[in-house]
């Protein structure tokens, strides 16, 4: 795909209001390979006006017709699957097979799920003598991160469109090309002009302008807790709705009696996937004291198989490269035992990090509390189930987690007591229809499936 030098607004590519640009860097070798325009408040304003002008018409479009347009969008994405994968590999650094399976495959599946949900969702119900209408919220400002760049876009835009909302998207500055590709597929799918608009740009400029815009009704944000807090404050001042999908420090709890080799193997794979840049990654592995050293040895062996450049890519940018290796240094400094990886970069050029495993991590350590967002696993020992539960629930986050046990009922009973939005039991498969989102500081609201759709609706009651 040839990068666009304008913004996709009101159904067309328009010149940007300003002259600043953003360099797009390949994190594998630090080469700048494209530039895109850096949007200003004027671009955001033009995009919001287009979305507002399109809103009534799109909201009044019968759900079956909205569903047909989303199905066409899904088809347009599927037709460009290889190009999506290549684009994400170039700007994020993920190995191509992973980009094909996940960075392209997942958003195509999610778009498909909303084509179905738009057609079947109960937008009206009768309660006593009331007809309750579930109506679209209005103009949505979507601000997305770089870690699963197209998935994060589709997980907001598809349900918003299904609900009858119109959208202005500000994607991450590191991954703007797949966002431009997405805008092209929206165009190919024949969505009416103004229903979807794209402004590439920097967070504190374009992102801030979008979050603060008085004609945006709902801001849906995924990213760091620090920026999420700021966005919630800005949106709260204008009494607009927010949906926040923030960080995590999820626990992988391996109970006595579990298949240890399987639990550790899947746990390491979960952390190393996407170079550890997954908000729901199980970055804390909790193992009973009796089998602790066995688990540590298994994890170190499993991590060594993640050869940088083969099974695992670089981290996204220079800032994250510094930050992730800073956390590894902090782990060593605070007394954790390094059993795989470390601070040495495996290659001279590019933002490479060695897959790293720490043992003897205690719950108070920085690496057991803060989100690292890199290929770094912390293994903690627990004494009994109550201790495991205290450790699992003992962070400010609550996004995801896992429980392994010999007895499924015991694992489910433990999962019920975890303060977290999702728990996989004995390696339960990812479900793209299950609500995804956080307890505590991991966020507000849910994405995916029918729960993701209701985020974009508001209710009206008619009594008769």
Contacts of 198 (CB under 8 A, 6+ apart): 7, 8, 9, 47, 168, 169, 171, 179, 180, 182, 183
Rule CB under 6 A: say whether 246 interacts with ligand NDP. Answer: yes
Does 245 participate in catalysis according to the annotation?
yes
- Measured from the CB atom, is 10 or 447 closer to ligand NDP? 447
Please report how close the Cβ of residue 308 comes to ligand NDP at its closest, in angstroms.
19
Q: Return the DSSP state at 348.
A: S
Please report how close the Cβ of residue 218 comes to ligand NDP at its closest, in angstroms.
14
Rule CB under 6 A: say whether 203 interacts with ligand NDP. Answer: yes
Where does residue 260 rank: exposed (0-12), middle (13-18), buried (19+ CB within 10 A)? Answer: middle
> Which listed residue (37, 93, 112, 247) binds ligand NDP by CB under 6 A?
247
Binding piece for ligand NDP, criterion CB under 6 A, among 53-61, 72-80, 221-229, 413-421: 221-229
Please report how close the Cβ of residue 151 comes to ligand NDP at its closest, in angstroms.
10
Residue 141 main-chain phi, psi, to 5 deg:
-100, 115
Rule CB under 6 A: say whether 243 interacts with ligand NDP. Answer: no
Please report how close the Cβ of residue 221 comes to ligand NDP at its closest, in angstroms.
6
Does 348 participate in catalysis according to the annotation?
no
DSSP string over 271-288 = HHGGGG--TT---EEEEE
Task: Give, as ranges, the residues between 110 and 169 that touch ligand NDP (CB under 6 A).
Answer: 143-145, 147
Rule CB under 6 A: say whether 421 interacts with ligand NDP. Answer: no
Rule CB under 6 A: say whether 172 interacts with ligand NDP. Answer: yes
Q: Report the distance separating Cα 386 and Cα 381, nearest Å.
A: 12
Q: Report the distance separating Cα 405 and Cα 236, nearest Å.
A: 43
Rule CB under 6 A: say whether 91 interacts with ligand NDP. Answer: no
CA geometry: angle 142, 147, 150, nearest 5 deg: 55
91, 279, 447, 455: the active-site residue: 279
Rule CB under 6 A: say whether 230 interacts with ligand NDP. Answer: yes
- Measured from the CB atom, is 233 or 462 closer to ligand NDP? 233
Contacts of 361 (CB under 8 A, 6+ apart): 284, 331, 336, 367, 368, 378, 379, 380
Task: Give, as ranges, the residues between 17 and 56 that touch ligand NDP (CB under 6 A).
Answer: none
| HSE value, Cβ hemisphere, 13 Å, CA-based, for 404 | 22
Rule CB under 6 A: say whether 373 interacts with ligand NDP. Answer: yes
Task: Give, as ranges, the residues between 278 and 337 that touch ligand NDP (CB under 6 A).
Answer: 279, 320
Rule CB under 6 A: say whether 202 interacts with ligand NDP. Answer: yes
Where does residue 452 rank: exposed (0-12), middle (13-18), buried (19+ CB within 10 A)? Answer: buried
Q: Report the distance separating Cα 342 and Cα 334, nearest Å.
A: 14
Active site residues: 245, 279
């Amino acid at each position: 795909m040839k990068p666009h030098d304008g913004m996709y607004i009101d159904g067309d590519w328009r010149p940007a209001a300003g002259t600043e640009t953003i360099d797009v860097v390949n994190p594998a070798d630090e080469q700048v390979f494209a530039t895109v325009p850096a949007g200003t408040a004027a671009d955001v304003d033009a995009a919001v006006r287009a979305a507002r002008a399109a809103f009534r018409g799109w909201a009044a479009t019968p759900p079956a017709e909205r569903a047909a347009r989303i199905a066409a969008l899904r088809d347009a994405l599927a037709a460009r699957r290889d190009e999506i994968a290549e684009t994400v590999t170039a700007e994020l650094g993920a190995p191509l097979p992973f980009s094909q399976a996940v960075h392209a495959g997942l958003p195509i599946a999610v778009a498909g799920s909303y084509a179905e949900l738009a057609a079947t969702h109960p937008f009206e119900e009768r309660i006593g003598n009331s007809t309750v209408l579930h109506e679209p919220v209005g103009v949505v400002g979507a601000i997305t991160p770089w870690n699963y760049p197209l998935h994060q876009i589709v997980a907001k835009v598809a349900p918003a469109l299904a609900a009858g909302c119109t959208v202005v998207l500000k994607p991450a500055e590191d991954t703007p090309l797949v966002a431009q590709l997405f805008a092209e597929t929206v165009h190919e799918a024949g969505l009416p002009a103004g229903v979807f608009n794209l402004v590439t740009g920097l967070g504190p400029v374009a992102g801030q302008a979008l979050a603060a815009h008085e004609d945006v009704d709902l801001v849906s944000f995924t990213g760091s807790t620090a920026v999420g807090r700021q966005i919630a404050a800005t949106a709260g001042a204008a009494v607009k709705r927010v949906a926040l999908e923030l960080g995590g420090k999820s626990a992988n709890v391996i109970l006595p009696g579990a298949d240890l080799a399987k639990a550790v193997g899947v746990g390491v794979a979960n952390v190393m996937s996407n170079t550890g840049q997954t908000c729901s990654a199980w970055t804390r592995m909790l193992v009973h004291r009796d089998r602790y050293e066995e688990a540590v040895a298994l994890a170190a062996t499993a991590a060594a198989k993640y050869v940088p450049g083969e099974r695992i890519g670089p981290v996204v940018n220079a800032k994250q490269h510094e930050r992730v290796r800073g956390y590894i240094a902090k782990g060593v400094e605070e007394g954790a035992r390094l059993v795989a990886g470390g601070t040495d970069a495996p290659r001279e050029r590019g933002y490479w990090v060695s897959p790293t495993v720490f043992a003897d991590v205690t719950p108070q350590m920085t690496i057991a509390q803060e989100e690292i967002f890199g290929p770094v696993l912390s293994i903690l020992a627990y004494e009994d189930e109550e201790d495991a539960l205290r450790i699992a629930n003992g962070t400010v986050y609550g996004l995801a987690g896992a429980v392994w046990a010999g007895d499924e009922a015991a694992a489910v009973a433990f999962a019920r007591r975890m303060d977290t939005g999702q728990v996989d039991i004995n390696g339960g498969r990812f479900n793209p229809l299950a609500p995804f989102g956080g307890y505590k500081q991991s966020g507000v609201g849910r994405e995916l499936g029918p729960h993701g759709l209701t985020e974009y609706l508001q209710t009206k009651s008619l009594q008769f």
